[in-house]
A and B are shown apart, each in its own frame.
Chain A
């Protein structure tokens, strides 16, 4: 889920990095993960990402609870590669399955790590500080702010459906289609009323009056951010020459 809750309390070394640095590390990690051709290298990459997760001090039980779906899908990828690919020796099937599965896990878990240690507000403010026009930055911020709100609204609509006897709690394929159809309209109607309200609120406080604005909140960029960015870029370059 993309609520950017910044799971850790912000005290870990990973959390303290500038969000832009984290984004560059994420892009680098994904690039390298996709370029790796040996299962052993992909496994080492996987280990490094797991260490990254452990550095955030998130309890392993919670981490497992959140990522078990990802792991299950990784296992399905692995198993389907072995079961469905024909005319190839077993060893190759296992190696290809492991590589494909690990690539998937590495990309998704790296993104999960980024979301876990980055608050959406800090990310938006860091982007604006880095030069993103503030209208886009606040569009991102407003989107993130309304995600939990609309989740609550959708939940209320589902409850209203259940109260009318729709079997949302025991869905069938047809039921899922109807549930989606019956949820969409009420949530959209609510969303539109909120958009009006937000637009009035923002314009009523002079949002958009000038081409730039003051920022009270500053997202620090430390020397170690520079080091991490250089290391990430070096990693990408190395992956093109060494792999």
Chain B
């Protein structure tokens, strides 16, 4: 099915090779996981197999690459697309229409299949992915897991020989992740001719469904063998900072949320939420998408006014204070680092918050310089923030938030779509901030990271905090309640 020999890829304008001397053979019907840290070349390999590199994305390509006997370097993207289907990481960005049926039928319609053939392909693809019940639904109404299944159905409707899934679980909660893994397993069992290539940071997630794993590192293939022999990112998990702060106890409560209710119209999103975050404590907030986690953070930050209840920070009732008044005491980190980069230079990015809060540039300078130094960004102080790497952008987000010297830090799914080493880097910084007395409330989906690094775990379901306990007790309680998707070591 796949026959790659001596493949080297270098993107135009880059001095680094994205892929170097890759040799790979995948037999028809085989299912393979491609893993490796962010930037290792997984997506480049997928784009080469789907023909987008070099046909749509400019790059120098050397070596040979054949899929289904087609020379990818000579065939057009359209010819390749009839054999290779690529499901991208973020389903939101790849939908071309507005409703489920139109989206799945989009490919066969482009192939000028007869209306009867389009309908039968639509039926088969929806049935295979288990989303026939979503017929007639608007794409905007679907959950993340449902969107990913529809994206997969849309590719399957093209009836490809090779399906590539590029980090399909990146933005899914543990429940949706488990469902997708089960779906992949079913697909493999149902069609022995279908070849699957899954790009994934956490290969062990698919250990029950797939058997062969390929590891890439800096563009080179470093492992090709059974999944049992791979322990790549599990080793990094062991490098995560383990919290020992709770042994010494925490200071007085920094944040107190009391009897908080929040509703959007007639839909109640938060129900009688009570929680506390102490100085120097890292509290992890877990739960399914839609359980109210982000709404809780937004209510604490002041983006939303609660229907009832109180939010107290260091004893002050801030429930009715505007966001601008809270910003000096509460910092917030969003999922996408680009959303919080506003200026055209790193130094200005760090000082813009304090300047908006009334400080002068002279007052900001010492702290901004110290922050740039401690976050390893001093040498980039005049660079454009958007030109930094992902990890540097994340550090800049933290530095610019900490410039206001907040006592509480809120983080909304900062690990989504990131590999474990990036999560480790972020958690190390948070660990240091907590040691300095900053309280941290962080939303995350990865039980391995959350239970290792947090001092306390909150678990939300249907707008209510169901569990509030130290990690080891929270894990036992999650197990007792049958929330197996949230147990560490599962996915």
Contact = CB atoms under 8 A, between A and B. Distances in A.
B78 A197 contact: no
Interface string B102-141: 1001111111111100110010000000000000000010
A contact face: mostly helix, strand, loop, or mixed: helix
Contacts of B94: 197-198, 200-201
Which of B90, B97, B301 has the most C-beta atoms of chain A within 10 angstroms of its own C-beta? B97
B342 A141 contact: no
B110 A207 contact: yes
Contacts of B400: 164
B339 A169 contact: no
Given A162-B324, A164-B352, A205-B107, A214 B78 contact: no
Contacts of A144: 98
A111 B375 CA distance: 53
A202 B115 contact: no
Contact of A145 (B98, B298, B322): B98
B77 A203 contact: yes
Contacts of B341: 185-186
B331 interface: yes
A205 B158 contact: yes
Range for the number of chain A residues in contact with chain B: 35 or more
Which of B88, B122, B298, B330 has the most C-beta atoms of chain A within 10 angstroms of its own C-beta? B88
Contacts of A216: 101-102, 105, 109, 115, 118-119, 122
Interface in B51-86: 52, 56, 77-78, 81-82, 84-86
B472 interface: no
Nearest to B102: A217
Given A121-B99, A141-B97, A207-B96, A163 B112 contact: no
Contacts of B302: 162
A161 interface: yes
Given A141-B97, A157-B339, A200 B356 contact: no
B386 A161 contact: no
A210 interface: yes
Interface in A189-212: 189-190, 193-194, 197-210, 212
14 contacts: A121-B102, A157-B340, A159-B334, A162-B301, A163-B340, A165-B404, A185-B341, A197-B93, A200-B50, A200-B56, A201-B96, A216-B101, A216-B102, A217-B102
Interface of B: 47, 50, 52, 56, 77-78, 81-82, 84-86, 88, 90, 92-99, 101-102, 105-115, 118-119, 122, 140, 154-155, 158, 298, 301-303, 322-324, 327-328, 330-332, 334, 336, 338-343, 352-354, 356-357, 386, 400-401, 404
